Amino acid sequence: MARYKVEISGQTAIPEQPFFPLRGERRVAVVLALVLIVGAALYFTPRLAAQAPTFLPSGQEVNTVNPTANLVFRSGQTRSGIECGPGVRQVSWSKYAPWCEPTYTGNNGGATSNGVTATTITITYREAATADLSLAYSLIPPSIIGTNQEAIDTLQAYINVFNKNYELYGRKVVLVPYQGTSDFIKEDLGEGFQQSKADALNVSSTIHAFADVSLIDSTSVYGGYLAAQHVVSFDMGFEPNSFYTQNYPYIYTPYPSCDTTAEGDSAVIGKAIANLPAIYAGDPAMQHESGKIGIVYPAGSSTEECAQNMQNILKTKYGVTPALVKSFTLDFSIIGQETSSLVAQMQQSGVTTVVCAACDPVSPKLILAACAQNHYFPSFFAEAVGADTGGVDAFGRGMNQQEMDHTILIGRQAEPKADTEAWQVLQKGITPATQVEPLYSLVYAPLVMLFGALQAAGPDLNPETFAEGMANLPPSEPGGEFGLFKYGPGVFSPASTFQIDYWSPNTVSQNDGQMGAFVACNNAQEYSYDGAPTLPKGQQLHCFGK
């Protein structure tokens, strides 16, 4: 039973064959995962009605619940010396921390699950193969996406901090990096299944890990095989809701699913772009025309599912029918020809805003280049270019700047590095020898979820109590760098809010001090992925200084 009281039932059974959506020709899996924003929901039996929180002496419990997290509060001091009480978090330095848990002194039950002993919780990191990284580096330099060693060092630095401050009931998390045999790019091409399965078996049967945090070196194929082996894992999102629901209770993400992203994107497009004058188009002649939407997306079953979802939402909720919807094959041997033809069709159809649905950072680069070559200057709306933290400003600089100067997207404007929680916590754990991952905040976000759920699961740790713990984590405090996190029964992604950004080539990035940054529209207001109800319908966005 999890430490925070709520009963979970109605779990989806894991089939003998893992469920993972095939994406077709996906040659840049590592950079796809870096910047996508995702979320979703499973379905469970309803919770008991919320009651007033109960504050008890340490060790006593009742079945009353906290209105925000179904937590039974207990008195006492945490491992870091914080005095527990209603509404007090485990640590003062995180807006995403769980409610406090007094220092535990009982019997934790020892080996309660695979990868769990009386003193350790083993987690793995699959190191990317050299060939994979070489291909990735040919597209995005290592100064942006980092190296295996940087990822391992950054993970370890964060783990050191969490081990010291979170209540793990006599255990500590132990990171075990290993060299994978599978080529993760082939996995996303629908190949290499046996090697991926071998990696998952190695994790579960040889290393005996409870969870995997390979993150950008993971894929839906690898995650599916891990789930089939009952190993918890965290990915960087991008998959549709169906992927997560059918792999319950094993796969989680701090980012919204592509279905959830489609909800947010559609709200912005339907309320503030479509059928309004295309004032942000690069072509002055378009700026007086009514906004006409065109959607492009990479071919593949999961991307098609999410692109179709966007079309349905636009039509049913906002009365918007795109002028043109086209897929393209993300194969760099032919994509140049495809994007040129695709852009020509958009131009001929009078599209004033090109929407790249379920896209990675590389395909927009090629599409924007084709637009410039065709002397076609619409506005551009992309899901994937901006991500949710400022570490990806560097991605925007690699695009055609004449076209990027008219780009709007869901993202999050970078804060000064020293002001961010991810950077401040990293400083608590690094040593002079630590090699820091450039996208360290993307490493931090999943670990916030992992350690929060480990604490909330209680001493009897297994995947089911871990899921219960995850469901009962409290919402984050306002102002967090990842937006608002909200949990509850069935939530495997807590991402709940977003900002709207535009690209400014003449703004200095607060993340890395270089010229070119994503800047928040509408005074950096937060919007809910669930239809952005506070975004006025029929009003222009305030972007590009307008």
User: Quick one: 188 and 171 in the same domain?
Assistant: yes
From residue 475, give the alpha-carbon distance in Å to each of 156, 326, 478.
26, 39, 9
Question: Does residue 46 register a pLDDT over 70?
Answer: no
**Predicted confidence band of residue 398 (pLDDT cuts 50, 70, 90):** confident
Taking the C-alpha atoms of residue 35 and residue 128, their distance in angstroms, rounded to an integer, is: 18
Least confident among 19-28, 51-60, 104-113, 407-416 = 51-60
Higher pLDDT pick, 241 / 55: 241
Higher pLDDT pick, 315 / 356: 315
Scan for tokens 């805003």, then name that residue.
353
Higher pLDDT pick, 93 / 69: 93
What pLDDT score does 239 carry?
85
Query: What DSSP element (H or E) covers 243?
Result: helix 241-245
User: Quick one: 403 and 434 in the same domain?
Assistant: no
What pLDDT score does 431 carry?
95
Q: Domain for residue 478, yes or no?
A: no
pLDDT tens digits for range 223-277? 999 999 999 999 887 788 899 999 999 999 998 888 899 999 999 999 999 999 9
Backbone angles phi, psi at 450, to 5 degrees: -60, -55
Residue 71: name the closest of 84, 86, 81 by CA. Answer: 86
Q: Domain for residue 373, yes or no?
A: yes
Question: Does residue 326 register a pLDDT over 50?
Answer: yes
Taking the C-alpha atoms of residue 215 and residue 154, their distance in angstroms, rounded to an integer, is: 13
Question: Does residue 129 register a pLDDT over 90?
Answer: no
Question: Does residue 88 register a pLDDT over 80?
Answer: yes
Residue 97: name the closest of 76, 127, 126, 69 by CA. Answer: 69
User: Quick one: 354 and 453 in the same domain?
Assistant: no
Q: Domain for residue 122, yes or no?
A: yes
* pLDDT > 90: percent of the chain: 60
E strand segments, 299-393 = 324-328, 353-356, 379-382
pLDDT tens digits for range 21-40? 654 433 333 333 333 322 22
Taking the C-alpha atoms of residue 306 and residue 258, their distance in angstroms, rounded to an integer, is: 6
**Counts of helices then strands in the chain (DSSP H, E):** 17, 15
User: Quick one: 191 and 275 in the same domain?
Assistant: no
User: Quick one: 226 and 313 in the same domain?
Assistant: no
pLDDT tens digits for range 154-211? 999 999 999 999 999 999 999 999 999 887 767 766 677 899 999 999 999 999 999 9
Report the pLDDT averaged over residues 363-367: 82
pLDDT tens digits for range 470-506? 999 999 999 999 999 999 998 889 999 999 999 999 9
Report the pLDDT averaged over residues 321-345: 82
Higher pLDDT pick, 274 / 546: 274
What pLDDT score does 371 carry?
94
* Cβ–Cβ < 8 Å for 322, 311: yes
Q: Domain for residue 315, yes or no?
A: yes
* Cβ–Cβ < 8 Å for 262, 37: no
Q: Domain for residue 545, yes or no?
A: no
Amino acid at 47: R
User: Quick one: 502 and 353 in the same domain?
Assistant: yes
Taking the C-alpha atoms of residue 50 and residue 205, their distance in angstroms, rounded to an integer, is: 41
Q: What is the CATH number of the domain that holds 363?
A: 3.40.50.2300
Overall domain count for the chain = 2
Q: Domain for residue 85, yes or no?
A: yes
Question: Does residue 514 register a pLDDT over 70?
Answer: yes
Taking the C-alpha atoms of residue 256 and residue 329, their distance in angstroms, rounded to an integer, is: 24
By residue range, what is the domain housing residue 36?
A: 29-255+419-471
E strand segments, 135-182 = 172-179
What pLDDT score does 333 carry?
56
User: Quick one: 156 and 143 in the same domain?
Assistant: yes
User: Quick one: 97 and 235 in the same domain?
Assistant: yes
User: Quick one: 423 and 355 in the same domain?
Assistant: no
User: Quick one: 52 and 188 in the same domain?
Assistant: yes
**Predicted confidence band of residue 328 (pLDDT cuts 50, 70, 90):** confident
What pLDDT score does 386 carry?
37
What pLDDT score does 49 carry?
26
Question: Does residue 447 register a pLDDT over 80?
Answer: yes
What pLDDT score does 486 carry?
96
Task: Select the highest-mean-pLDDT range: 201-205, 296-300, 328-332.
Answer: 201-205
Q: What integer best gives the mean pLDDT of the chain?
A: 83
User: Quick one: 181 and 297 in the same domain?
Assistant: no
User: Quick one: 243 and 332 in the same domain?
Assistant: no
* pLDDT > 70: percent of the chain: 80
What pLDDT score does 383 carry?
65
What pLDDT score does 133 carry?
62
What pLDDT score does 375 carry?
95
What pLDDT score does 58 carry?
33
Q: Domain for residue 168, yes or no?
A: yes
Q: Domain for residue 542, yes or no?
A: no
What pLDDT score does 358 carry?
79
Higher pLDDT pick, 185 / 101: 101
